[in-house]
Amino acid sequence: MYRMALIVLLAMLFMPAPAPAGDLAALAAGCDDCHGPNGQSTHADVPIIAGQSERLIGKALDQFADYWRPCSKTAYRHGDTGRPETSMCEISAALSAEDRQALSAHYASQPFVPAVQAFDEAKAVTGAGLYGMYCATCHPAGGAEIGYAGRLAGQWQAYLRTSIAQIAAGEWMVPKPMERKMSSLSEEEIDALVNYFASHQD
């Protein structure tokens, strides 16, 4: 009995401590200053992170912390917008592993709300065919499934265009088959694809 109690106590001591609620609220507020309330971005060049998988968000934060993804400077979009520009790499590198884990769980628990944006219906139809050829295997359900590979349906067009360009240039740590697929797309095909994903607004 004593031995079992000692094992349980030791296990509790070595478990990672969850971030206090107040700390998480402050961390999330800082993220929301760019990604919008609860991760629902209101700016086309900033991705919607609400409702993406915890694993996906955590992996992205880890990659940014290690400068394994492009880290362009950006201005704050909410709150005190007069603050100096920052980058995802700077922000992620300043977070502890526990902070990144807590933030990933927080945003994964929020609902994904598709961006309301203009799109070209004819291009979206063409994009649907391209989606089936290039994206469906890893991003099923029209890109609407929220899983390890991330939801694309309803994401901002401008963000998707930038992401595709960076992946094609080998600037993201992604599977090589994805990099090859993205680098093989023409500008017209990319345009059709992002219009297809933008057409998912419900």
- Assigned domain for 172 exists: yes
Q: Do residues 104 and 164 share a domain? A: no
Q: Which residues are 163's β-sheet partners?
A: none
Is residue 188 a part of any domain in this protein?
Answer: yes
Domain end position, chosen among 53, 77, 108: 108
Q: Which residues neighbour 197 within 8 Å (Cβ) at sequence distance 6 or greater?
A: 127, 131, 143, 152, 153, 154, 155, 157, 160
Task: State pLDDT tens for residues 41-62.
Answer: 999 999 999 999 999 999 999 9
On whether both 133 and 94 belong to a single domain, the answer is: no
Q: CA-CA distance, 57 to 80, in Å (whole number)?
A: 25
Among 108, 137, 164, identify where a domain stops: 108
Decide: 112 and 154 in contact? Cβ < 8 Å: yes
Q: Are both 76 and 144 inside the same structural domain?
A: no
Interval 11-52: pLDDT, tens: 333 333 444 445 999 999 999 999 999 999 999 999 999 999
Distance CA 172, CA 161 (A): 14
Same domain, 192 and 147: yes
Q: What is the pLDDT of residue 148?
A: 76
Is 115 inside any structural domain?
A: no
d(CA 179, CA 164): 9
**Residue 143, domain extent:** 121-198
Cα–Cα distance between 47 and 197 in angstroms, integer? 13
How far is it, in rounded angstroms, from Cα 191 to Cα 168?
14
Element (H, E) at 119: none
Q: Into how many domains does the chain fold?
A: 2
CATH number, residue 48: 1.10.760.10
Q: What is the DSSP letter of 142?
A: G
Mean pLDDT of 129-141: 94
Percent composition of the chain: helix, strand, coil (DSSP 3-state, to 5): 55, 0, 45
Joined tokens for residue 90: 């700077």
Name the pLDDT band for 147 (thresholds 50, 70, 90).
confident
Residue 95 corresponds to which tokens in the numbers above? 């977070």
**pTM for this one?**
0.86
